[in-house]
Amino acid sequence: MFYGLSTIYSVFLWRKGFRRDDWVNYLLIAGGVALHTLAMTKRGLTLQSCPVNNLYEATTFLLWALGLASLVYSLLPRFKFLAAFTAPVLFTIGVFALMPSLDPPHGPKPEFSGALRSLHAATSLQAYGAFGLAAVAAGMLLMQRHDLKFNKLRAMLSLLPSMQRLELITFRLVAAGFGLLTIGLIAGQQLPRPEGKPYFSDTKVIWSALLWLVYLESLMAYKFFGRSSRRFALVTIIAFAVLLLTFWITNLNSPMHQP
């Protein structure tokens, strides 16, 4: 409910062009994240393990990481409206996560015991959260570019960060997510898998490796081969959209993640 109210309020901030400093949206997101944290804590205590045992739990963990990161960055003076861009993502995916099929009451669950397996789950989900925030920052960057081109007055009055700062934060978030994903892939070799099956034969591992290559190409092209900030932002947004759309399919078809 808090994420939904924040999404509605965000629409009014967009229509006003972010021309005033307002903490209402931040407090709405904070309320949602607080309840989100409480729910995850109670579920983890009930299961006596980290709550990342099925698609519902993985989704809520990813959204929690995204919401918490959004709150931290929104404390910076020029990033107070980051929550307005994050709220629709939290609300939309959160509603999708409520589908009963994602949280079956019975049946086998993936086992994430062991330090390296826990590291794999934590770093992978945190990487997805970093990629999500990068996509949000990239969207803000494209919005600023559009306003400077077609509505210079609104761009001048806007309280959004400068394009240079948005470009830098997008790059740093993608780089952080890439580093976390790299650690997750390495640690994932400890996941249980069918006897005789190599690690990189699993559907989810192949998908993760392809995702890793996409972000590697994006970072290298931007940093060393002169890719424009606009194209870098577009690739960041598209890559995260594909991540969201294909995560569940690959997870369901992965023997390592659905034994």
Q: Report the alpha-carbon distance of residue 242 to residue 240 in Å, rounded.
A: 5
Whether pTM exceeds 0.85:
no
Over the chain, what is the mean pLDDT?
76
Sign of the C-alpha dihedral computed for residues 60, 62, 68 and 70 taken in this order: negative
Structure token digits, residue 56: 């519902």
User: Tokens at residue 126, please?
Assistant: 């945190």
Cβ atoms within 10 Å of 81's Cβ, excluding its own: 22
What is the predicted pLDDT for the residue at 111?
Answer: 45
Q: Identify the weakest region by mean pLDDT among 123-137, 166-180, 195-209.
A: 195-209
Contacts of 28 (CB under 8 A, 6+ apart): 2, 3, 5, 6, 9, 83, 87
Which element (helix H / strand E) includes 145?
helix 115-150
Tell me, what's the pLDDT at 214? 94
Count of Cβ atoms closer than 10 Å to residue 49 Cβ: 16
Query: So what's the pLDDT on residue 236?
Result: 93
- Does pLDDT of 117 surpass 70? no
Domain boundaries, the chain: 2-252
| pLDDT tops 80 at residue 162 | no
What does the alpha-carbon distance between residue 222 and residue 220 come to, in Å, rounded to a whole number?
5
